[in-house]
Chain A
Amino acid sequence: MSHAKLKWNQYAILALVGICAPLGDSFLARGMKQLPSISLDHPLALVAAVFHPWIAAGILMLICFFACYLTALSWADLTYVLPTTAFGYVIIALLGKFWLHEEISPYRWAGIILITIGVGFVSQGPSLTEKETPENAEVQP
């Protein structure tokens, strides 16, 4: 089946899934830390929080992530797409190291290596589970 190996534009969509999700999470975290503590007694305060600029930027990144994620799920398995999303954490950590000159501890380097191996591992396999359909089912005598 043509879905077993991905095309370059499909890898680009998976890369966008990986980059947009952690960026969106970081923006959300920054926005939420600037707000006063929200209790479960006032759940509407959570809805009002979406109008904060950092949270709005985070939501925009997450909408981009979701569009790419839906596209990826239409031609790949969930268990294939999900590990690749974690690769975004590696990109963020490497950006912190080489762009913002942050220190990366040995634990983080170990984490980066494990995620890279894990994503490399899953990407070597087929992207979609073959389903038994009337077209590809063997004809029993």
Chain B
Amino acid sequence: MMCVMMPPPLGTGGVNPWLAAAMIAGVAITSTIGEVCTAAAMKSIGDLDEIRARSGLKGAIVAVLTCPMFFIGVGFLALAFFALLLALNHLSLSLTGPASASLTLVTNAIAAKIFLKENVDRRRWTAAILVCFGVYLLAH
């Protein structure tokens, strides 16, 4: 019986391509949830520069640390961090870094429009897509 062996995609280091994609998607999804929650927390707190000018550095730190949404965001960002460590342990940086960064840019733009009600206009979509392709090309 003939068996055709396909070479693993570049940068996956012999890891099953579906598993590699799942690792990168895991980084992107947890990172997006974390970033959206963190951004929502910081918007609810207000301008940190103004808070620091009014109440000092301690006041700014207290304002951040007393916001529950901030801890939800940090929890997901910590998950994203460990997902990144796991991915870097199995895949090359040249694949993991740009792929997760590019994917996160797009998922963040979508999540920011839906959940944060940000004005993601044509300018911001164009920028996100240009940066996304730019990061991809930078890996070559």
Residues of A within 8 A of B (CB): 3, 9-10, 22, 25-26, 28-29, 32-33, 35, 37-38, 40, 46, 49, 62, 66, 70-71, 73-75, 77-80, 82-83, 86, 89-90, 93, 105, 107-108, 110-119, 121-122, 124-125, 129-131
Q: Smallest Cβ distance from A19 to chain B, in angstroms?
A: 15
Interchain CB contact under 8 A, B86 and A40: yes
Q: Smallest Cβ distance from A42 to chain B, in angstroms?
A: 11
8 nearest A-B pairs in the assembled complex, by CB-CB distance: A111-B137, A114-B134, A118-B130, A111-B138, A115-B134, A107-B140, A122-B127, A118-B131
Which residues of chain B come closer than 8 Å to A28, judged between CB atoms?
84-85, 88
B residues 92-140 near A (Cβ < 8 Å) are: 93, 97-98, 101, 104-105, 108-109, 112-113, 116-121, 123-124, 126-131, 133-140
Tally of chain B residues near chain A (CB < 8 A):
53
Q: Does B39 contact A (CB under 8 A)?
A: yes
Known interface pairs A79-B113, A82-B105; 15 further A-B residue pairs with C-beta atoms within 8 A, sorted by A's residue number = A37-B90, A46-B85, A46-B86, A49-B85, A70-B38, A73-B43, A74-B47, A79-B118, A79-B124, A114-B134, A118-B129, A121-B123, A121-B126, A121-B130, A122-B127
Interchain CB contact under 8 A, B48 and A89: no
Q: Smallest Cβ distance from A129 to chain B, in angstroms?
A: 4
* Chain A: CB-nearest residue to B82: A46
* Chain B: CB-nearest residue to A49: B85
Cα distance A28–B93 in the bound complex, in angstroms: 10
Interchain CB contact under 8 A, A78 and B108: yes
Q: Does B45 contact A (CB under 8 A)?
A: yes
Most chain B CB within a 10 A radius of its CB, from A22, A62, A110, A124 = A110
Q: Smallest Cβ distance from A36 to chain B, in angstroms?
A: 9
Given known A74-B42, A77-B118, A78-B36, contact A115–B131 (CB-CB < 8 A): yes
Write 10 A-B pairs (CB below 8 A) sorted by A numbering: A46-B85, A73-B38, A78-B39, A80-B124, A82-B109, A111-B135, A114-B133, A116-B134, A121-B127, A124-B123
